[in-house]
Amino acid sequence: MTTEFDPTDFLPGDRAGQGRWEIGHYRQHAHYLEFLAGQNPPIILAEMPIVTMGNTDLERKIFLNAHQVAHELIRPYANVTGIDLALVDFKNEEEFFVWLDVHASEHALLDQAFGLT
């Protein structure tokens, strides 16, 4: 299985790009959960509400916190560490792009660990 998610393909204010990113990102997390559930014995992790990051500060805060939990749950099974992905201000473009890059790097490590590359 190969990844369909491009974790850096998203610009601030680009609603269509954000939607494409959200769908690909959600599906990639679903692939991780599917991979883990297929292990023997199965590893069943909770699915976090990360389908959309939303557009308001509150929606983004909810997404970021749930997304951080999702990564915290998955990381030990991939032997991957990472930053707190909930700590980003999407209104600060520099911070946003750094977050995208760090997040993309972690997804690349997860993809590799789970054989999704």
- Hey, where are the domains in the chain? 15-113
**How remote is the C-alpha of 16 from its chain's centroid?**
18
Q: Mark residue 54 as left, alpha or beta (left: phi above 0; alpha: psi -120 to 50; beta: remaining).
A: left
More confident residue, 6 or 90: 90
More confident residue, 110 or 16: 110
Burial class (CB in 10 A: 0-12, 13-18, 19+), 41: exposed
d(CA 15, CA 85): 21
For the chain, what is the largest distance between any 2 Cα atoms, rounded to a whole number of angstroms? 43
pLDDT digits (tens, 9 = 90+) for 60-111: 999 999 999 999 999 999 999 999 999 999 889 999 989 999 999 999 999 9
pLDDT grade, residue 32 (50/70/90)?
very high
Q: Mark residue 90 as left, alpha or beta (left: phi above 0; alpha: psi -120 to 50; beta: remaining).
A: alpha
pTM of the predicted model, to two decimals?
0.90
d(CA 112, CA 8): 17
